[in-house]
Amino acid sequence: MQKILFSACLCGFPVRYNGSAKQIVSEQLDLWRQQNRLVTFCPELAAGFSTPRPPAEIQPSFMGQQVIAHSATVLESTGNDVTQRYILGAWLALQMAQQHHCRFALLTEGSPSCGKHRVYDGNFSHQSRAGMGVTAELLARHGIEVFSEHELLLLCQRVAESDKQAIEIP
């Protein structure tokens, strides 16, 4: 049975930078929870950040891949360079996903760690741009299918297909 790495803030834990959660409620998630498929994780807390913490954005690009390649940085609104902690959180998320044999990840859109399609533009102006967070990028690079909370239906379809394949393989 395929497991799913799940952003802790989507699960309802108040671990976001401002001390809030971003809980999503769905019967499908309740079912996966009962089936013990959800591996709840926060890359930023795992990397040693506390809650609340200053907001952070990727600069000068919006690409987690450039952070991993050391050609972009993650800066807090205070100017503090937290790039290495974001990279650490991504690797810890990957380690957790691999330990639990997660094939999928359901992550929070817009986060510099977890964003799948969008992250904030680096100016702390509340404007988001197309781009991927550091953890989402690293997971995807290692073959884990990443979905945002807006793609829950798509994730349900992929999990169902994967379950079906597992049953068909003798």
- In whole angstroms, the minimum distance from the beta carbon of 95 to ligand SF4 comes to 15
Cβ closer to ligand SF4: 45 or 163? 45
Q: Is 30 exposed, middle or buried (0-12, 13-18, 19+ CB in 10 A)?
A: exposed
Residue 15 or residue 138: which is nearer to ligand SF4 going by CB?
Answer: 15
166 vs 145: CA distance, rounded Å? 17
| Residue 44 interacts with ligand SF4 (CB under 6 A): yes or no | yes
The answer to whether residue 37 forms part of the interface with ligand SF4 (CB under 6 A) is no
* Shorter beta-carbon distance to ligand SF4: residue 52 or 165: 52
- Token reading at 13: 């834990």
Number of residues that bind ligand SF4 (CB under 6 A): 12
Nearest to 56 by CA among 134, 112, 15: 112
C-alpha span between 31 and 53 (Å, rounded):
33
Torsion angle of C-alpha atoms 14, 64, 129, 123, degrees rounded to 10: 80
Region of 1-9, 64-72, 118-126, 141-149 interacting with ligand SF4 (CB under 6 A) = 1-9
Amino acid at 32: W
**Closer CB to ligand SF4, 8 or 74, in the complex:** 8
Distances, alpha carbon 143 to alpha carbons 94, 98, 120, 140, 146, in Å = 10, 10, 25, 5, 9
Is there binding between residue 43 and ligand SF4 (CB under 6 A)?
Answer: yes
Candidate list 3, 4, 5, 8; residue touching ligand SF4; CB under 6 A: 8
**Touching ligand SF4, residues 109-138 (CB under 6 A):** 111, 113-114
In the complex, the residues that contact ligand SF4 under the rule CB under 6 A are 7-9, 15-16, 42-44, 108, 111, 113-114
